[in-house]
Amino acid sequence: AYVGQQITYTFGFYQAEQLTGDVDYQPAATPGFVAENLPNPANTNEVLNGRTYAVQRRKKALFATTPGPHTIGKASVTVTLDPFSGPTELVAPPLVVTVLPLPTQGRPPGFGGAVGQFRVTLSADRQAVRAGETINLQVQVTGNGNLRSLAAPQLNLPSWARVYPAGETRKAEAGGAGNP
């Protein structure tokens, strides 16, 4: 993966035995990444080697902030199969991900480091104004990737135009796009 590119981390818990009590999930530590919880898929049943398992999955979108090796820590669930023997912790070992620096060749002008597929639209509250009147412009960016890493767009307006920033609203919704 490259710096800023989404990695989708999925933790799966496969259960074939009846449990007494809840499943206590402890997510992996993700230093070196910006992490966003993704919607969890619906629980399913899967057959492996002739045995049926109830499967629960937890998903996170991870965006590495620097190149190099990064460790996604252990994740675990604590379950109780037998109330007389107490809880058991089941652990998924840590993973090491090699993160590459972004290539320098082919970067668009003004590239600020945001990686993804984005669409930018511009709309105005009116089509014509008189000298001295204001016009409200709205820049909207949608797409897949780490939207939080986007900087405010640079407007290339004529020298006679004045800009009065009205603020910014960001709404990011976890959707799960990226590498499985």
Residues 125-173: pLDDT tens digits? 998 888 888 888 888 888 877 777 777 777 788 888 888 877 777 776 6
Q: Whole-model pTM?
A: 0.73
Question: Is the CB of residue 95 less than 8 Å from the CB of residue 71?
Answer: yes
**Could you read off the pLDDT of 78-116 as tens digits, one per residue?**
998 888 888 989 999 999 999 999 888 888 887 777 888
Q: 33 CB contacts (<8 Å, ≥6 apart)?
A: 7, 62, 63, 64, 65, 70, 72
Structure confidence at residue 175 as a pLDDT band (50, 70, 90): low
Contact (Cβ atoms closer than 8 angstroms) between residue 124 and residue 136: yes
Q: In this predicted model, what pLDDT tens digit does every residue of 53-76 receive, in sequence order?
A: 999 999 999 999 999 999 999 999
At a CB cut-off of 8 Å and minimum separation 6, what does 54 contact?
Answer: 14, 15, 16, 43, 44, 45
